[in-house]
Structure 1
Amino acid sequence: MRDVWLIFQRELIHCLRQPVWVVMGLAQPVLYMFFFGPLVGKFVARTHEFPPGDPWTIFAPALMVQMVIIGSTFVGMSLLAEYKAGIFDRFRVTPASPVSLLFGKVLTAAVTVLIQSTLILAVCCVSFGLRPSIPGVILCYLIVGLLAVSLASCSYSFALRVKNEEALSGSLNALLLPTFLLSGTLLPITAELAPRWLWIASRLNPVAYVMDASRASFRGDVASDAVISGLVALALITTASISWGVATFSRVDG
């Protein structure tokens, strides 16, 4: 735990020294908030096929999950830069275990996402009158944090597997788009709204269950079936990604 804390401090200080990246990570969700969010209200007002809740209890958690998907997926690029520069090898000759390096880095990714989510939530409350359930927001923070840990762990592991910037960037982009679209982040994918093939495809995406759980928690349905299904899916994703990360960091070649 001491090694994890030291690496977490190092990574967090590195992020704070370059706050521009935190701000840039907020740019896309903020643009969606102001340029796309008002349209969601029109959709909700004209159809009864959306999930229950007002427009911003539907869209605000989507912005948080969107930030996780886009931000945490590409953290492996920074690790690859450290690997190429020899920084990763220097960590390997220290008493700290490679696994503590993984945990320190993924915790930093989760904390960064939670800070950004707090700012997004504050803007939604001030500018659009969002009034979410407090217990639901806490649960949504837990969901967002664990999803960030999962995706960051996969990104770091994949980076150490391919060890090539072009291959990593192309592969992540190819995986990111279908994951993002089939999660129902921009618009909820429901059995009533979507064609049957699209609905089935979205059900094969575990992030879609996490997205449904985030929306349900925001409107206060913390004991609903959507939350339970999302937490189960999130537990499976987290366990698989952390296991892959531990195996990769423990066996990585210099």
Structure 2
Amino acid sequence: MSAPVRQSPASDRPDTAVRPNPARDTWNVLTRELRPTLRDPFTLIFSLVQPLVFLGLFAPLLVGQSGEPVGETLRWFVPGVLVMIVLFGTGATGSNLQYEMMTGSHERTLVAPISRASLLVGRALKEVVPIVVQAIIIVLIALPFGFAVNVPGLVVGLALLAVFGVGLGSLSYSLALKTKDREWLFWGVQQTLIFPLLILSGVLLPLDDGPAWMRAVATVNPVNWVVQAERALLSGDLSAPVVLWGWIAALLLAAVGLVVGVRAMRRSG
């Protein structure tokens, strides 16, 4: 009679469970979010319609009012258009997450063995690619019309836009998580905030001759400091004080956005 087979205790079995790894999970979420953009790059071009309309129709009005050469006007206006791309692009990106929540796709990702924080951080980092590509396209379009750009300043300016976009995108995702299936509320809040931030940043018109209250609000508007920093950087004045203030504003926004977004993601589902 053979001896009974001894069962191995559970502690002796190999641990094959997949555990969350923040770095790996963030990379996986980032590549997942980039795939639709890489498959259909036309969406990047299509989203440039609004900035191109401002560049083509508003810039000539500025030239007529200022009386300065076209190149000088573009030197002032184009950096603002680059910031406008971030505002309109990353500010609305939360609608993609809201669509996933409405279709049930987001709930399926929540049960996967990945870090909840990575779901937010990976999405936010994905915004860097469209920002850089679209900004370069706008600069290339403006060059034949007399726009001159400092290349090192452009590189630093793109990095600044990327940090700013990560923060704004994170806040957009946070808004989507809070509003969930109420799409109307997401767009209502988004539109209510975006346009005042745009106007009170001096993107379209200088605020120097504006009312005192407008100039006061602009001093606490992070978009205003990013715009001023971009103008200095693209002109080659990398050591201007406004560059430092632009980086402070972008980094603070990114920190706040990531903290709020990660907390909202952890509470979702």
Normalised to the residue count of structure 1, the TM-score between the two structures is 0.91
Aligned length: 245
Runs of 5+ unmatched residues, structure 2: 1-22
Look up the match of 1:9. 31
Shift of 1:129: 2.5
Shift of 1:16: 2.7
In 1, the alpha carbon distance for the partners of 2:100 and 2:213 equals 42
Q: How do residues 59-74 of structure 1 correspond to structure 2 at under 5 angstroms?
A: 59-74=77-92
2:177 pairs with one of 123, 135, 160 = 160
Which has the higher Rg, Structure 1 or Structure 2?
Answer: 2
Runs of 5+ unmatched residues, structure 1: 47-52
Look up the match of 1:184. 202
Aligned-partner residue type, residue 38 of structure 2: L
In 2, the alpha carbon distance for the partners of 1:84 and 1:98 equals 19
Identity %: 32
Q: Does 1:147 align with 2:164?
A: yes
Q: Does 1:58 align with 2:76?
A: yes
In 2, the alpha carbon distance for the partners of 1:40 and 1:3 equals 47
Shift of 1:97: 1.0
Look up the match of 1:236. 252
2:62 pairs with one of 22, 28, 40 = 40
Q: CA RMSD in A?
A: 1.7
Mean Cα deviation higher: 21-30 or 62-71: 21-30
Task: Kindly provide the CA deviation profile for residues 109-144 of structure 1, in whole angstroms up to 9, marking residues without a partner as x.
Answer: 12111111111111111x313221111101110111
Q: How do residues 96-107 of structure 1 correspond to structure 2 at under 5 angstroms?
A: 96-107=114-125
In 2, the alpha carbon distance for the partners of 1:117 and 1:206 equals 19
Task: Kindly provide the CA deviation profile for residues 210-248 of structure 1, in whole angstroms up to 9, marking residues without a partner as x.
Answer: 111111111111111111111111121111111111111
Q: Does 1:129 align with 2:139?
A: no
Mean Cα deviation higher: 235-244 or 195-204: 195-204
Task: Kindly provide the CA deviation profile for residues 8-64 of structure 1, in whole angstroms up to 9, marking residues without a partner as x.
Answer: 111111123333432221001111111111222333436xxxxxx921221111111
Aligned-partner residue type, residue 96 of structure 1: I
